[in-house]
Amino acid sequence: MLVSFEGQLVLKEFVGSFAGEPKIDDSLALFIHSLRGAREIEVFYENGRIYIRKTEIGYLFIITGTATPMALVRLNCDMFVPAMKKMVKRDKFKGFFKKN
């Protein structure tokens, strides 16, 4: 999930057994503001983790299980974020997550 610095949902792509739509409201904008520009955040909870990564246009939220190797998540983000920047500049971002 990519959320702008203003708390607006830019994109969402869920893989696996995630059910339902994320609830986006004013509290998300408040949460984004509370991050105060942090580059990386990891949130651990009983059944999973949330990895949050700052990008040029907002924060990327990666929701994972507890067994997911975080080094792999970081590596994928390291590859995705530069590619995302190029797509945003060329306005080709919408087609990146197109389902075949």
SS (H, E, C) the chain: CEEECCCCEEECCCCCCCCCCCCCCHHHHHHHHHCCCCCEEEEEECCEEEEEEECCCEEEEEEECCCCCHHHHHHHHHHHHHHHHHHHHHCCHHHCCCCC
What structural domains does the chain harbor?
2-95 (3.30.450.30)
pLDDT per residue as tens, the chain (100 positions): 888 888 888 888 777 666 666 666 778 888 888 988 899 999 998 888 999 999 988 999 998 888 889 999 999 999 988 887 777 665 555 554 444 3
What is the reported pLDDT for 61? 92
